[in-house]
Amino acid sequence: MPYKNYISNSVIRRLPRYYRFLGDLQKEGLTKISSFELSARMKLTASQIRQDLNCFGGFGMQGYGYNVAELRSEIGKIIGVERKIGAILIGAGNLGKAIITYFDFPKYGCELIGIFDNNSDLVDSQIAGVTICHISKLAAFCKKSKPEIAVLCIPKENAGAISEMLVDCGVKAFWNFSHYDINLHFDDIIVENVHMGDSLLTLAYNVNNKNK
Amino acid sequence: MPYKNYISNSVIRRLPRYYRFLGDLQKEGLTKISSFELSARMKLTASQIRQDLNCFGGFGMQGYGYNVAELRSEIGKIIGVERKIGAILIGAGNLGKAIITYFDFPKYGCELIGIFDNNSDLVDSQIAGVTICHISKLAAFCKKSKPEIAVLCIPKENAGAISEMLVDCGVKAFWNFSHYDINLHFDDIIVENVHMGDSLLTLAYNVNNKNK
DNA sequence: TAGATTGTTAATCGATTAACAATC
DNA sequence: TAGATTGTTAATCGATTAACAATC
């Protein structure tokens, strides 16, 4: 579908934000918006918005602007929110539990189809309607249900071994909350890191170094 | 302390990662490392590492490399991990609770000094040794204890009003987990967004558009 | 038609990489 | 000293912004 055969990472990372803003505008009842108006709301340049969108196609109309609902829907298609990629959670501790409770996965193009933990006490209880299984059942489950995404909420110490196992089981992508750089160890595996520790340290730097 | 008077965002965002890797190397018992060896481990170029570090000072030694412990300590000083910035949590639901349980704040230059929620049922219970207070106590608390960072774990609907209130109370920085772009509404306020939704959508895009 | 706003090409800016002299 | 590796300047690359012709 993309017009261009190469889409830069910078552009890709802005897509979800466009998608989110357009959803808000739709809720506000707006039917059309110009790149200029949108740029004011998002604190971007109008130029950048037009460049970004034109990587994927000409969604606008000269002299008019963009149709909000249509543009949102197009970006949704580009991201692929409708496909519902099969995802499993590894590690049902505080963080893992919070993430899947907090998140409506289908809204983000995914479907939670399994939860695994090495703590036997958690096994057979449910989170978000999905039963927790012991980690020993992982390989068999993957063979049968072929999850594509693994949400990693486990301690750094276990992340190396578990991620290797998951890749062997055919998992293609990681949503990584562990303090471990998965991408360093595999080629061809898609990783989205949520290094919250790095994020908090960046904040600390900025607080401590303001006006210096 | 910085050599340069302007440090780009790209450099700042890499500091926590250097800090983390150097900590690992230290645990491994390594005393020295060259920019070349470090670049191989972190999948960066040696050139970039040297450029980055030289924004802050000459921490290396020609013909030798960098002293691991010393470099880590210097980066820690630059970030300011020792200062322990006062932080409060707003919203003690699943996510907020998980984050402060999961995170050892002092390790990241912060200290959790208060928790606030609008749910009366949660008030007076404790998380991570800190008692939850009703949100109505927020202003008085800020006046007295002057927190600099607010960790926002509240629904988007409330984020606008609460963040405004916090800014009025003197809060300087936000660690933002809400689906709301705080930075659009204030100048001079430091915001670190952890837009997990955007992150998951980016992952979905990459899974759905691989090899296209 | 006149006005508005896109799509797209060209210019600028910034960040990354390469090269090499300085020096331990 | 010779070898290694930094600190730093110069070259390249990519991303953002500006400009404008196309067109609704």
Interface of B with A in 63-82 (CB under 8 A): 78-81
- In Å, the largest CA–CA distance within chain B is 63
**Token pair in block for residue A112:** 């939670």
Interface of A with B in 17-46 (CB under 8 A): 17, 19-20, 41-43
> Strand C closer than 7 Å to the CB of B53?
no
Place A109 in a pLDDT band, splitting at 50, 70 and 90.
very high
**pLDDT for the residue numbered A71:** 98
The mean per-residue pLDDT over the stretch B83-103 comes to 96
Crossing angle of helices B68-79 and B9-28, rounded to 10°: 140
Place B4 in a pLDDT band, splitting at 50, 70 and 90.
confident
Cβ neighbours around A158 below 10 Å, total: 16
**Global confidence as pTM:** 0.95
Residue B49 has pLDDT above 70, yes or no: yes
The mean per-residue pLDDT over the stretch A177-194 comes to 94
Q: What pLDDT digit, counting tens, does each position of A14-69 carry?
A: 999 999 999 999 999 999 999 999 999 999 999 999 999 999 989 999 999 999 99
Crossing angle of helices B196-208 and A68-79, rounded to 10°: 60
Q: How far is the CA of B34 from the C1' of D4 (A)?
A: 10
Domains of chain B: 9-77 (1.10.10.10), 85-198 (3.40.50.720)
User: How far is the C-alpha of B58 from the C-alpha of B76, rounded, in Å?
Assistant: 15
**pLDDT for the residue numbered A107:** 97
Secondary-structure percent of chain B, ordered helix, strand, coil, rounded to 5: 50, 20, 35
The mean per-residue pLDDT over the stretch B94-115 comes to 96
Q: What pLDDT digit, counting tens, does each position of A127-142 carry?
A: 999 999 999 999 999 9
Place B212 in a pLDDT band, splitting at 50, 70 and 90.
low
Torsional sign, CA B49, B54, B55, B58:
positive
Torsional sign, CA B55, B60, B63, B68:
negative
> Strand C closer than 7 Å to the CB of B62?
yes
Opening angle at CA B197, ends B191 and B199, nearest 5: 80
